Structure 1
Amino acid sequence: MSKWFKRVLTVLVPVFLVTVLAGCAEQKPDNVYESTKESKKIVWGVKADTRLFGLMNVKTGNIDGFDIDLAKALTKQMYGKDAKAEFVQTTAKTKVPLLKNGNIDAVAAAMTITDDRKKIINYTQPYFGAGQSLLVKRGSGIKTVKDLNKAGIKVMAVKGTTAVDNVHKFAPKARVLELDDYAQAFTALKSKQGVAMTTDNGILYGVAKENPDYEVVGGTFTNEPYGLAVDKGQDEMSDHLNKALDELKANGTYSKLVKKWFGGIPGFNVKEVEEP
Structure 2
Amino acid sequence: MKKLFRLISIIISSLALVLVLSACGSKPLSAQNVVTRAKQTNTITWGVKADTKLFGLMDVKTGQIKGFEVDLAKAITKQILGPKGKAEFVQVTSSTRMPLLENGNIDAIMATMTITPEREKQVDFSRSYFDAGQSLLVKQGSPIKNVKDLNKNGATVLGVVGSNSVQNVAKFAPKAKVLQLSDYAQAMTALKSGQGEALTTDNGILAGMSVENPGYVLVGGNFTKEPYGIAINKHQTEFRKDLNSALTKVEQSGQYNRLLKKWFGNVKGMHYKEMLR
TM-score by length of 1: 0.88
For the Cα contact (< 8 Å) 1:128–1:274, is it kept in 2?
no
User: CA distance change for structure 1 residues 28 and 146 in 2, over 3 Å: closer, same or farther?
Assistant: closer
Superposition pairs of residues 60-139 of structure 1, within 5 angstroms? 60-139=62-141
Q: Which residue of 1 aligns with 2:16?
A: none
DSSP-derived class of the 1:240 partner? helix
User: CA distance change for structure 1 residues 264 and 119 in 2, over 3 Å: closer, same or farther?
Assistant: same
Superposition pairs of residues 142-221 of structure 1, within 5 angstroms? 142-221=144-223
In 2, Cα distance between the equivalents of 1:207 and 1:175? 22
Q: Which residue of 1 aligns with 2:250?
A: 248
Instruction: Give a deviation string over 1:40-78, Cα, whole Å, max 9, x none.
Output: 110000101111111110000000000100000100111
> Identity across aligned pairs (percent)?
58
Residue 248 of structure 2 aligns with an amino acid whose one-letter code is: D
DSSP-derived class of the 1:149 partner? helix
Structure 2 unaligned spans of 5+: 1-26
Superposition pairs of residues 32-51 of structure 1, within 5 angstroms? 32-51=34-53
Instruction: Give a deviation string over 1:211-248, Cα, whole Å, max 9, x none.
Output: 12110011000001100111011011011000000000
Structure 1 unaligned spans of 5+: 1-24
Residue 245 of structure 1 aligns with an amino acid whose one-letter code is: L
The offset of 1:34, in angstroms, is 1.5
Runs of 4+ in 1 over 6 A off after TM superposition: none
In 1, Cα distance between the equivalents of 2:176 and 2:30? 43
The offset of 1:203, in angstroms, is 0.3
TM-score by length of 2: 0.88
The offset of 1:28, in angstroms, is 4.2
Figure out how many residues of one structure are paired with residues of the other and give that number. Answer: 252
Residue 110 of structure 1 aligns with an amino acid whose one-letter code is: T
In 1, Cα distance between the equivalents of 2:274 and 2:123? 25
